[in-house]
Structure 1
Amino acid sequence: MRIIDLLRRGVLLALCAAASARGGTLVIESWRGDDKTLWDQVLIPAFERHHPGIEVRFAASPPTGYDASVASRLASGGAGDLIACRPFDASLSLYKKGYLDRLNGKPGMQNFAPTALLAWQTDDGKDTFCMPVASVIHGFLYNKKIFRKLDLQPPKTVDEFFAVLDVLKKSGVAPLALGTAEQWESSQMVFTNIGPNFWRGEEGRKALIAGRARFTDAPFVDALQFEARMGSYLPASSTTQSYGDSQAQFAAGRAAIYPAGSWDIAYFSQVPGLEFGAFAPPVRKRGDACFISDHMDIGLGVARNSKNKEDAYKFLAWVGSQEFADLYTDRLTGVFTLSDHLIAVRNPVAKQMKEWRNSCASTIRLNAQVLNRGQPGMESELWDVNARVLNGSLAPQEAADRLQQGFAKWYKPQQK
């Protein structure tokens, strides 16, 4: 064999070896386009330093069309290798259709408590199909300058909460930066924020699922009555005020309190001159047990038809590591990893909200599990009902009756 042929053969063998070592590019599917910079510039490079032979690419789809589009690509075999998982039914549907791998016992999964797995398990809890990644916490943000000026303290009880709102209203300051135009805030930022202290978190949520409780029971009606009282402190423009409008109002110091998701901390932290803190949803009276909405938000699964399965599991194991937890929580302010690792949260407001877990019991959004499976859909019902309660166009008892009637139409345990 000529020397030139030997050289050519050597080059081909080297290229084949490199290709074999590198494998195909791992693709992560997600609806979180706003996280792309974090993945591209921080997380993926950190993983690739440990695995230089594996290339990873983050691919985002529009949030509103993600569920349908990723399901279609999984069905056709054209999806990525790693799939960002929404909590509960959307991802459970993908697993039941055979699109996601079973993750029981996979490396990295040992770093999550059973409660962290809930959003990505079958109803019987036997199979887990996505690794938990992060949750968000609900509460209230407040303007420190306004509170200092009026000598106010963050409220801890229902009575204290409304006393603070009264002082703000009388002083000419808008008490609440909150609108109802988009409706979802009424449900997710108000009802499932303040409600757990009335229905005792998981106790009340699970009682609805078991058929032992009704929306017309006192704890749920009381939460709606609290919400109706809040309505009298909304801006005059609340019915046309969007989520973005409310953010702008609080950021500009034109309102003192903002019902919040912890993800909002990152936005407000960038506003020059804005001093803000956080307080937890008020309890009925001092000494009562407290509950917070600590909602499982995103997980990560492995596509069953992935052509890079071995590398996908290496990446998944890294997502379950201390390094990932540190990087993710540090760089994505107000979004908290769900692993058991001890994490140093540097943002003071995010740290404060995360520490509520030490004194309050965590629960998830009321309708996240099981309750959205029939018609009328509980999610859309809660959006509309809670917006109308806040606007004063629907009385709390009427709202409870409507929720219960709609629920009982399709859910057998509620028909007893």
Structure 2
Amino acid sequence: MKTTTAILAAWGALSGAAMAQDVTLSIESWRTDDLALWQDTLIPAFEAANPGIKVQFVPSAPPEYNSVLNSKLEAGSAGDLITCRPFDASLALFDGGKLADLTDLEAMANFSDVAKSAWQTDDGAATFCVPMASVIHGFIYNKAAFDELGLEPPATEEQFFAVLDAIKEDGTYIPMAMGTTDQWEAATMGYQNIGPTYWKGEEGRLALIDGSQKLTDPQWVEPYATLAKWAPYLGDGYEAQTYADSQNLFTLGRAAIYPAGSWEISIFNEQADFEMGAFPPPVRAEGDTCYISDHTDIALGLNAASPNADAARTFLNWVGSEEFAGTYANALPGFFSLSNFDVEMEDPLAQEFVSWRGDCEPSIRSTYQILSRGTPNLENDTWGASVAAIKGSETPEEIGQRLQDGLASWYEPQQQ
């Protein structure tokens, strides 16, 4: 009896230790579209290498993510791991004590300062999210349509508009699929796509932050004039066309060109039954430097109030690993690793986008760092401004002055 009791006691102690060791982490995210990737691929790979740590992926609808997350954080019910948007939204969470400092995390050594910059304090002293991926802007085109019309991907703006003229004149295809109803795409795939070519990428973006350039300067106004020239090529009724409408027009083969972010690749691969190609934003003249928006998009941070911080840091170190980088980038073609690892892309369209890193100077969206912290919000104002440019309801000069007045009303470096 004593022996049996001792055995049961020992088993109970071991069982209790094992149970105490088991931890379940939960991940907050806005990426509802990659739920299957996490559940079927990423989480099983991590759990196999880390017995005793279980992981749950619990996303919210993208438009509601910020408000839902903030409410959960305030209520103390948020998950252990927080998917981080770039720059100011996540910085506000860190400054508010909601995200932990991850500067000393071992995996941070696998990322450059540029990759980490979207999730750092302004002085770079603290990093609070592990970078996961960036997205690249450019243009996706229907190769069958181009072959049928004898067209080549344009390299210069002159060639770009010549291609659009040829497509319009033929009449078989809408030259370019983009609407203005949802507004954000006019700015994101329009202004922020072609703009770095004008303001010379990081040179102009940083000059806007330090106040040495203004939104009324030619390099910031002229992209709106170019957007105004897009209108005749967007097809009848583009003013009432939603983002989803534009996607459908392209994938159904009715439009020849789609101003794009690389995040479209997975969706278009599933929906389009024709071969696609891509070209970067055209340079203004032959021989000019090519610029692309290679925008830091998504990262993962640690809830400062998580009771499972040690296990969460183990997971975050894995997110910063070569295994994660290769798996994530190839399972979601168009979301490119920000790590220092040499990740080989399998998808040909993703290969095309990422190849531009070797030929073009990278930058990020001009409104995302610092410049949209006040009211009026420059990012949101750029949406409406881009639509106004395309529709011709304001001149490019009027747009530049309005945006400059709004920024200068609260941002001191622009008040000089």
**What TM-score, normalized to structure 1?**
0.97
In the alignment, what sits opposite 2:145? 146
Distance 2:405 2:48 in 1: 56
Distance 2:217 2:384 in 1: 20
Q: Indicate if the aligned counterparts of 2:253 and 2:272 stay in contact, CA closer than 8 A.
A: no
Q: Indicate if the aligned counterparts of 1:178 and 1:238 stay in contact, CA closer than 8 A.
A: yes
In the alignment, what sits opposite 2:327? 327
Q: How does 1:202-351 map to 2 (within 5 A)?
A: 202-351=202-351
Distance 2:384 2:272 in 1: 35
Q: Indicate if the aligned counterparts of 1:179 and 1:235 stay in contact, CA closer than 8 A.
A: no
In the alignment, what sits opposite 1:137? 136
Q: 5+ residue gaps in structure 2? A: none
What secondary structure sits across from 1:182 in the alignment?
coil
In the alignment, what sits opposite 1:86? 85
Deviation at 1:10, TM superposition (A): 3.0
Deviation at 1:49, TM superposition (A): 1.3
Q: Indicate if the aligned counterparts of 1:407 and 1:414 stay in contact, CA closer than 8 A.
A: yes
Deviation at 1:72, TM superposition (A): 2.7
Which residue identity lines up with residue 314 of structure 1 in the other structure? T
Distance 1:66 1:122 in 2: 22
Query: What is the percent sequence identity of the aligned residues?
Result: 48
Q: How does 1:8-407 map to 2 (within 5 A)?
A: 8-22=8-22, 24-172=23-171, 173-407=173-407
Q: Indicate if the aligned counterparts of 1:30 and 1:83 stay in contact, CA closer than 8 A.
A: yes
Which residue identity lines up with residue 185 of structure 1 in the other structure? E
Deviation at 1:407, TM superposition (A): 1.1
What is the number of residues matched between the two proteins? 415
Distance 1:407 1:239 in 2: 27
Distance 1:302 1:273 in 2: 41
Deviation at 1:272, TM superposition (A): 5.0
User: Which 10-residue stretch deviates more, 11-20 or 203-212?
Assistant: 11-20
Task: Provide Cα deviations, 1:154-181, integer angstroms capped at 9, x if missing partner.
Answer: 0010100001111111111311111001
Task: Provide Cα deviations, 1:229-263, integer angstroms capped at 9, x if missing partner.
Answer: 11221111101100111011111111110000101
Aligned-residue Cα RMSD (Å) equals 1.2
Distance 1:376 1:297 in 2: 23
Deviation at 1:73, TM superposition (A): 2.2
Go from structure 1 to structure 2 and tell me whether the alpha carbon gap of 1:188 and 1:310 turns closer, same or farther (over 3 Å shift): same
Distance 1:58 1:268 in 2: 25
Which residue identity lines up with residue 84 of structure 2 in the other structure? C
In the alignment, what sits opposite 1:408? 408
What secondary structure sits across from 2:139 in the alignment?
strand
Q: Indicate if the aligned counterparts of 1:132 and 1:299 stay in contact, CA closer than 8 A.
A: yes
Distance 1:177 1:69 in 2: 33
Distance 2:291 2:78 in 1: 39
Distance 2:272 2:157 in 1: 32
